């Protein structure tokens, strides 16, 4: 047998283009506070949220994904024949067998390209990151055929009435993965933590609403962050041969999966606590000296086991890490603050926000450390380098140009009063429990280019159209989606 010739290793594998899609409708969180009869500031200050995007009954996981992939390929002039892998990360399931990826294959019918790897990946908010890693691994493997990979991250996050409802949101993001990318994945710097826990799960397939233990979920998030941060630092120190421990001061940007924005401040504070415990036996800086006096023998586990200590140390570390938060993380929460928790796209909405809220000089040559978390649980800390080579700067400009309409799109959305928001959530509940359904929400409340559900037939098949014109309301391109 002839020895197979190996192709040259692809260089600078990473993200080449990004597209984001979010709902046209939103509810104001301050008005939702008043409607829910909770204390003023509970959602806006306590959670750090301003607006929450949501979908009517004419949008589902299929339509969100169709919209973002079609828009991505149009905007960046991607030939359907140039796509060799397509994978979807989502926890918003509408079928126990048929994947969303197969629905998206209809976008490739005209090109006659059916030779596309990938399928759906699911584990709460981590499914999108896993799908992304699969795409990177494919490009870097002997299976790669030279074509691009597209990774789709999409979810609709809705909750039953109660404390969790204001932490909802919705959206979809599509990432193009390939070589010679401006956002390059750092090799050998993925630090995972996986465990079995029931902090958030969806056992009822007839409902969009999860079962959630809020306090447990927070502690699981922070405990996973502890482990991933420690392991990432160890791997980074070994790879870069650092003579001192890696700490927040060495990191250019640090972004997180964001269930709500206040959680991100807690996460930065938690990294600060990790740095303190790691370095307290050495010469500590002025910021850590306050902790040294009061918490000389503290451990990470003790802060999780003792509720009073947990609150005390959280308050201290959030305050002490406020400068690090402002410099490294604050610019990443624009979309999370104004749309809410997108679930799988959440972390990558923070990446987008970071990119559009900083200048080229502040970005090129810098490194972004990312923490991805999905309940149940799965988590990872990894990093991206922005244009590690000057030859990549042109493609970085192209990537940024594709995101330049986001601020205008946020401003163009339509506000819905809380009572109408609740009514629309109640209408969505009907979709999960019936067939032969026709949505009641109007396609007029959608951005141009949005796919929307027109009906579910007696065989549970779903039919979609795309809003492509404002003339006489809208024009349509009909597509049949079989979700049976």
- Cβ neighbours, 10 Å, residue 170: 28
458 included as an active-site residue: no
Q: Judge contact between 271 and 288, C-beta under 8 A.
A: no
250 included as an active-site residue: no
125 included as an active-site residue: yes
Name the DSSP letter for residue 125.
B
Candidate list 55, 65, 70, 125, residue with the active-site label: 125
User: The dihedral of CA 455, 458, 462, 464: what is its sign?
Assistant: negative
Q: What is the phi-psi region of residue 322: left when phi exceeds 0, alpha when psi lies from -120 to 50, beta otherwise?
A: alpha
* CA–centroid distance for 284 within its chain: 35
CA dist., res. 399 & res. 407, Å (int): 16
Q: Judge contact between 153 and 128, C-beta under 8 A.
A: yes
* CA–centroid distance for 145 within its chain: 28
- Residues comprising the chain, all counted: 484
Q: Judge contact between 67 and 443, C-beta under 8 A.
A: no
Instruction: Write the CB contacts of 318 (distance below 8 Å, at least 6 apart in sequence).
Output: 265, 266, 268, 269, 325
User: The dihedral of CA 182, 351, 233, 128: what is its sign?
Assistant: negative
CA dist., res. 337 & res. 326, Å (int): 15
Candidate list 70, 76, 193, 257, residue with the active-site label: 257
φ, ψ (nearest 5 deg) of residue 240: -90, -5
Candidate list 33, 91, 208, 316, residue with the active-site label: 91
- Cβ neighbours, 10 Å, residue 98: 17
Instruction: Write the CB contacts of 464 (distance below 8 Å, at least 6 apart in sequence).
Output: 62, 63, 66, 451, 452, 453, 454, 478, 479, 480, 481
- Cβ neighbours, 10 Å, residue 109: 11
Q: At what angle do helices 286-294 and 261-279 cross, to 10 degrees?
A: 80
Q: How far is CA 360 from CA 179, 397, 407, 451, in A?
A: 21, 9, 18, 34
- Cβ neighbours, 10 Å, residue 107: 19
Q: How far is CA 266 from CA 225, 255, 258, in A?
A: 11, 12, 11
Q: Judge contact between 301 and 253, C-beta under 8 A.
A: no
The catalytic site residues sit at 91, 125, 257
């Amino acid at each position: 047998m002839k020895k197979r010739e190996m192709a040259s290793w692809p260089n600078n594998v990473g993200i080449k283009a990004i597209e984001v899609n979010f709902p046209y409708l939103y509810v104001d969180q301050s008005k939702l506070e008043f409607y829910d009869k909770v204390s003023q500031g509970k959602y806006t200050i306590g959670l750090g949220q301003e607006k929450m995007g949501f979908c009517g009954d004419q949008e589902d996981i299929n339509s969100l994904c169709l919209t973002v992939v079609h828009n991505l390929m149009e905007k960046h002039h991607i030939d359907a024949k140039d796509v060799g892998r397509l994978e979807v990360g989502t926890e918003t399931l509408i079928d126990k067998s048929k994947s969303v990826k197969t629905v998206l294959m209809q976008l490739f019918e005209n090109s006659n390209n059916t030779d596309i790897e990938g399928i759906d990946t699911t584990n709460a908010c981590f499914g999108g990151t896993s799908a992304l890693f699969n795409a990177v691994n494919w490009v870097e493997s002997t299976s790669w055929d030279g074509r691009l990979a597209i990774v789709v991250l999409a979810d609709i996050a809705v909750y039953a009435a109660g404390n969790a409802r204001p932490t909802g949101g919705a959206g979809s993001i599509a990432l193009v993965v390939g070589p010679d990318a401006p956002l390059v994945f750092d090799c050998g710097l993925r630090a995972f933590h996986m465990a079995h826990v029931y902090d958030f799960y969806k056992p009822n397939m007839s409902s969009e609403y999860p079962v959630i233990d809020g306090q447990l979920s927070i502690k699981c998030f922070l405990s996973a962050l502890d482990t991933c941060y420690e392991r990432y630092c160890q791997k980074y120190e070994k790879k870069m041969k650092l003579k001192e421990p890696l700490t927040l001061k060495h990191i250019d940007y640090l972004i997180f999966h964001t269930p709500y924005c206040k959680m991100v401040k807690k996460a930065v504070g938690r990294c600060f606590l990790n740095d303190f415990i790691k370095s307290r036996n050495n010469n500590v800086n002025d910021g850590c000296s306050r902790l040294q006096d009061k918490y000389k023998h503290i451990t990470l586990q003790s802060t999780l086991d003792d509720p009073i200590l947990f609150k005390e140390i959280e308050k201290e570390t959030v305050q002490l890490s406020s400068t690090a938060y402002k410099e490294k993380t604050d610019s990443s929460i624009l979309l999370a603050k104004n749309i809410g928790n997108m679930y799988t796209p959440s972390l990558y909405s923070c990446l987008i926000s970071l990119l559009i809220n900083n200048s080229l000089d502040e970005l090129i040559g810098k490194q972004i450390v990312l923490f991805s978390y999905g309940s149940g649980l799965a988590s990872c800390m990894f990093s991206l380098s922005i244009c590690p080579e000057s030859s990549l700067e042109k493609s970085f400009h192209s990537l940024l140009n594709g995101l330049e309409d986001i601020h205008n799109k946020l401003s163009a959305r339509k506000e819905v009063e809380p009572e109408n928001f609740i009514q629309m959530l109640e209408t969505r509940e009907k979709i999960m429990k019936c067939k032969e359904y026709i949505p009641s929400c109007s396609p007029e409340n959608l951005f141009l280019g949005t796919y929307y559900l027109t009906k579910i037939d007696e065989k549970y098949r779903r039919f979609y159209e795309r809003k492509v014109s404002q003339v006489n309301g809208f024009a349509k391109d009909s597509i049949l989606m079989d979700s049976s």
